[in-house]
Amino acid sequence: MSHFLFEIGFEEMPARFLPGLVDEVKKLFAEGLAQAKVDCGTIAAFATPRRLVVSVPDMAAAARREEEVVSGPPEKVGFDAAGVPTKAAEGFAKGQGLDVSAVFVMETPKGRYLALRKTTGGEAAIELLPALCLEAVKKLSFPKRMRWGSREFAFGRPVHWFLALLDDAVVPFQFDDIASGRVTYGQRIMGPGPFEVPAAAAYFDIIRDKGKVVLDAREREGIVRSQAEALAKEAGGTAVINPALLAEVTGLTEHPVVLLGRFDPKFLDVPREVLITSMESHQKSFAVEDGKGGLLPVFLTTLGLVPGNVELVRRGWQRVLTARLEDARFFWEADLSASLETWQKKLESVVFLAGLGSMREKGKRLERLCGLIAEQAGKPEIMLESSQAGGVAKVDLVSDMVGEFAELQGIMGGIYSRRKGQSKTVSRAVAEQYLPAGPDSPVPATLAGAILSIADKADTLAGCFGLDMAPTGAADPYALRRAALGICRVVIEHGLRLDLMELLQGAIDGYGEVKFKVDRTHVLAKLLDFFGQRLKAYFTGQGYDTLVVEAALGASYNDIAALSARLAALAGFAAKPDFDQAVLTFKRAANIIRKQGVGAGVPLTGVVKAALLEEQAEKNLAAVCQDVFPRFDALFDAGDYGAVLELLYELRPSVDAFFDNVMVMCDDMDMRLNRLNLLKSLVDRLGRVADFAALQV
């Protein structure tokens, strides 16, 4: 087996690009080698700010040889009466690159046809790899591309070199004016190079020992974490390691070295959240906390090399961070001197969205909507404070601190509202209003925070849909999909029994005299449909079978928390061995009502007249329904959907016997209507659990 190694060298690539490039380049080479029929073992890929590397240590030296049978024209066309090959046979053979003597006759379901055995593959890997390398370079995708010099080609950053080796041989190709070779470069200062690589297997030692490059991102991350933790421990604390920042500094360095710096303890009067954000967002540095969760006046920053003068570098970082902290302290003190009333007044000149009024007006809508949600959820004890939280939710948007650190919106609102006299419940709710911030973000921990989060997102959705700003395709500039999903998650994880239609109607009504571009009844219908789509995406993303999700949604999704519980029960029911047969039984009943109910002549009520029950099977089914339905209703109202579905096993034998022995669409119209009503009474209850007609088995 051979060792293939490919390196693309470029100028510093943004850290956020690197994880995607690693996954993509592995996939491109896996697909390319498979298509070329070149067998290989594990494909590894690595990325640093200056290089993307693919290593295939166990690669076949040549493509697999495979024999395939190629069919041609019918025998009667390929040979004349004397058995001599015709021009058709000769053309067939020539087209496959073989002599006509290799042609044989093959029996097929369609008759006897000419055929050839053709051997493919066998090309040397070094002949196939140039095209694969070029294709990979062209297909790599980036959030943003750039061109440089006079080149037409666009890449994430300017490319400087290609190293491509199969064992000790250069894989020859040229891209634009850059030719592949066996030369690589190391860390810009500590081991710049160039370094000649004699063979693919030697690359890793050369790039580490001479180039001073730590190639594996996992290793670089481990170095940063371990050094940060050790330095924090020496300082008497623990490193506050934000996973996102850790990933970023890992992608910013080829030879990470963590440095500890200090700042004046006077800055510790500024809230922890502000200090950490200032360190992380501006200086890419980690904070250090003591055993009680308070910050220490030290920070940890990650360098990309071992500095020649550590103290000089430390003083430089300390000077820059001190300037940042001075700014943060100034903003903090200025904001403390302002009143909530002053900020509320300023919000009147801050536009929420063009056509939807100011942020002050949004605050008033949230104040009203939070109260409605608390009442609807049966939480009267939290109504007042939820409404108060809605009223002050957006005041921090005009604070100096949020003007500098936009990522602190909500968090600073919670801190400021507490400092300015609001209750702890109100302040915590304001701090949690933007949660969840994404699919992996936690939902608000408090009930008031959950209510404010729902209200804020519902208000935005109602306004945007009213202005006909619903997401189209991949475009979702106002993150409306995330807002709807956030509402669903908050409702489910807090177990809030909310009426979705009432919630959305309340949000729409909050806009009062605002002129929508879409009729308000249509806004509600579109929003409900939008939530149905998001719920389907959410639950299928949780691993539920698509058909089961559609069946649960088909029953109802107006009560999202109940839907979640129903779906879990239905998924458990679907896992049982006799699920398919049970579905067919109840699906048959649903289909009859859907198709024949309209033609019954009068509306079906589900009320059965005992005097019209003639067959024993229909009498038995009516008796079983009379026994089961009260229990069904009680269990359904209690939310015990697993027990509800267990009742279907009691119903099924009688339903099967009914279909086996009773003619539903009989000639007697009164009897037919009674039998349809019997099925209607059954289907109505089944339809509260799931749309069985949607289950394809």
Q: Name the residue among 549, 360, 374 with its Cα closest to residue 448.
A: 374
Nearest to 651 by CA among 628, 635, 632, 634: 628
What per-residue string of b and e applies to 84-106 under the rule 16 or more CB within 10 Å gives b?
ebbebbeebbeeeebebeebeeb
pLDDT value at position 186?
Answer: 96
Which regions of the chain carry the CATH code 1.10.730? 570-694
Q: Residues 289-300: what's their mean pLDDT?
A: 94
Pairing type for strands 159-166 and 178-181 reads parallel
CATH topology of domain 2-62+124-210: Alpha-Beta Plaits (3.30.70)
Three-state helix/strand/coil letters over 301-317:
EEECCCCCCHHHHHHHH
Residue 143 neighbours by CB under 8 Å, 6+ apart = 16, 17
Per-residue pLDDT of 230-270, as tens digits, reads 999 999 999 999 999 999 999 999 999 999 999 999 999 99
Q: In the numeric block, which tokens belong to residue 157?
A: 């950053």
What does the alpha-carbon distance between residue 677 and residue 609 come to, in Å, rounded to a whole number? 9
Structure token pair of residue 23: 């996954």
pLDDT of residue 287: 97
The pTM score is 0.81
Pick 148 or 277 by higher pLDDT: 277
Give the pLDDT score at 598.
58
Please answer whether residues 165 and 203 qualify as being in contact, where contact means their C-beta atoms are separated by less than 8 angstroms.
yes
CA distances to 129, 283, 284, 449, 688 from 247, in Å: 32, 15, 11, 30, 47
Q: Where in the chain is the domain with CATH 3.30.70?
A: 2-62+124-210
Q: pLDDT tens across 66-117, in order?
A: 878 888 889 888 888 778 888 888 888 888 888 888 888 888 888 899 898 8
Between β-strands 169-170 and 159-166, what pairing exists: parallel, antiparallel or unpaired? antiparallel
DSSP code string of 384-440? HHHHHHHHHTTGGGGSHHHHH-GGGTTHHHHHHHHHTT--HHHHHHHHHTT---STT
CA distance linking residue 254 with residue 475, whole number of Å: 36
d(CA 61, CA 422): 73
Q: What is the 3-state secondary structure (H, E, C) of 581-611?
A: HHHHHHHHHHHHHHHHCHHHCCCCCCCCCHH
For residue 55, what are the contacts with CB-CB under 8 A and spacing of at least 6?
3, 4, 5, 43, 44, 45, 46, 200, 203, 204
Which percentage of the chain shows pLDDT scores above 70? 99
- In whole angstroms, give the CA distance from residue 120 to residue 117: 10
- pLDDT tens sequence across 500-510: 999 999 999 99
Q: Which two tokens stand for residue 425?
A: 């419940």
Question: What pLDDT is attached to residue 151?
Answer: 79
Cβ contact 598:670 at 8 Å: no
pLDDT confidence bin for 696, thresholds 50/70/90: low
Interatomic CA distance for residues 203 and 7, integer angstroms: 10
| pLDDT value for 481 | 95
Cis status, amide bond into 194, omega within 30 of 0: yes
3-state secondary structure 483-498: HHHHHHHHHHHHCCCC
Nearest to 18, CA basis, from 342, 247, 272: 247
Examine the pLDDT at 600 and tell me if it is beyond 70: no
Among 92-96, 256-260, 457-461, 562-566, the minimum mean pLDDT is found in 92-96
Alpha carbon dihedral 110, 116, 121, 127, in 10-degree steps, equals -120
Closest to 648 (Cα-Cα) out of 584, 561, 553? 584
Strand runs (DSSP E) across 75-126, as ranges? Answer: 104-108, 111-120
Fold designation for 570-694 = Isoleucyl-tRNA Synthetase; Domain 1 (1.10.730)
Mean pLDDT of the chain: 92
Q: Which of 131, 176, 136 is nearest to 153 (CA)?
A: 176
Return the percentage of the chain with pLDDT > 90, whole number: 72
pLDDT at 300: 98
Q: pLDDT tier at 122 (50, 70, 90 boundaries)?
A: confident
Beta strand segments in 121-187, E: 159-166, 169-170, 174-175, 178-181, 183-184
